[in-house]
Amino acid sequence: MERGDADNFSRMGTLGVEEEFFVVDRRGRPTSGTDELVYGTDPPELLDGRLDHELFKCIIETQTPTLESVDEAETALRAVRAALVDHAERHGYRIAGAGLHPLARWRELEHAEKPRYRSQLDRIQYPQHRNTTTGLHLHVGVDDADKAAWVANELRWYLPLLLALSANSPYWNGFDTGLQSARARIFEGLPNTGMPTAFDSYEAFDRFEKTMLETDAIEDRGELWYDVRPHSEHGTVEVRIFDGQHDPDRVAAFVEYTHALVVDLAERYEDGEQGYDHRRELLDENKWRALRHGQDAELLGREWNQSIPLDRLVEREADRLGVPALVDLVETESGASRQRRIRTQDGVDALCDSLLVPAEETQRR
């Protein structure tokens, strides 16, 4: 039984970016393309060993190598996107970015044949059969296992803010859900998802992981799909709350802020801060507000005694950690709002086109 190791937490501040995208046809509709793009052809050198498929044959994942700085991460994610778009184009496909594709109807799409996914479909049934979600996952290295567990605990309060800013999935199975991130709600239909409880040490998290494996609750540690987790293989804290994105500038802002946040929390841990003892139910309330209202959300503050507009929280965080790009996000149209506007004004074909990831947008502007 493969397990992680506390000794893997050895480097502080490294970065890794995992992005999930939809493989679409020339009309921008989801189509089965991963057999060819992942297995049937040789990918560009940049993607060699860093390209994978997900549960559905229309969803593909890219991974950057381990990176040393925010600037390096931004350059890498743009280069990886460009390579993926080029690879897809050469084989008759295109690439789209969103938390859910508005025209992805799960009953009409093919599941992957990988044994891991077939096992999940058999065990989980309906919630996994309909799981056409795509996300952005960010890894930040932490140089001590107990520190990583503490940072993951503290990050939970910030996750709804990140979800609200990344909300990019208003449509599900072709209809408007009224949510800004339907992906977040659909994904929570799976076991071992959503807002995790706090762990008072890495040992406590490790015992939990071991129990889940030994009792056959999960088949591998990767099936702990919580919104944040210590990643015991990579030695990172992994943040998994984000919707998939079309715009690389938004991803770059999320990378910068998440990195600054983890580094700041790690320094607080080293200074002996006690941290917060947040109830999961109140964290869940903030997450609900974020997925329902997106950038118009008012989130409960740290002491749970007032609701604070998202733009005020963002301004505070941008100033506190020196990440002005965060303010740019909240001052611009959200992904979910953009999708609704385009569909209303120009129709569903224009909406599909608007989600495509063209090669030129992957370059630094």
Does the pLDDT at position 362 exceed 80? no
Per domain, the residue ranges of the chain are 10-357
Q: What is the pTM of this model?
A: 0.95
Q: What is the CATH number of domain 10-357?
A: 3.30.590.20
According to the 3-state scheme, what is the secondary structure of the chain? CCCCCHHHCCCCCCEEEEEEEEEECCCCCECCCHHHHHHHCCCCHHHCCCEEECCECCEEEEECCCECCHHHHHHHHHHHHHHHHHHHHHCCCEEECCCCCCCCCHHHCCECCCHHHHHHHHHHCHHHHCCCCCEEEEEEECCCHHHHHHHHHHHHHHHHHHHHHHCCECEECCEECCCCEHHHHHHCCCCCEECCCCCCCHHHHHHHHHHHHHCCCCCCHHHCEECEEEECCCCEEEEEEEECCCCHHHHHHHHHHHHHHHHHHHHHHHCCCCCCCCCHHHHHHHHHHHHHHHHHCEEECCCCCCEEEHHHHHHHHHHHHCCCHHHHHHHCCCHHHHHHHHHHHHCHHHHHHHCECCHHHHCCC
Which range, 18-22, 107-111, 303-307, has the best average confidence (pLDDT)?
18-22
Does the pLDDT at position 171 exceed 80? yes
With bands split at pLDDT 50, 70 and 90, how would you rate the model's confidence at 364? very low
Does the pLDDT at position 316 exceed 90? yes
pLDDT at 277: 87
Does the pLDDT at position 324 exceed 70? yes
Tens-place pLDDT, residues 246-302: 999 999 999 999 999 999 999 999 999 999 989 999 999 999 999 999 999 999 998
Tens-place pLDDT, residues 221-252: 999 999 999 999 999 999 999 999 999 999 99
| Averaged pLDDT for residues 203-222 | 94
With bands split at pLDDT 50, 70 and 90, how would you rate the model's confidence at 84? very high
Does the pLDDT at position 106 exceed 50? yes
Does the pLDDT at position 78 exceed 90? yes
Does the pLDDT at position 358 exceed 90? no
pLDDT at 2: 67
| Averaged pLDDT for residues 118-134 | 95
| Averaged pLDDT for residues 83-100 | 97
| Averaged pLDDT for residues 31-51 | 94
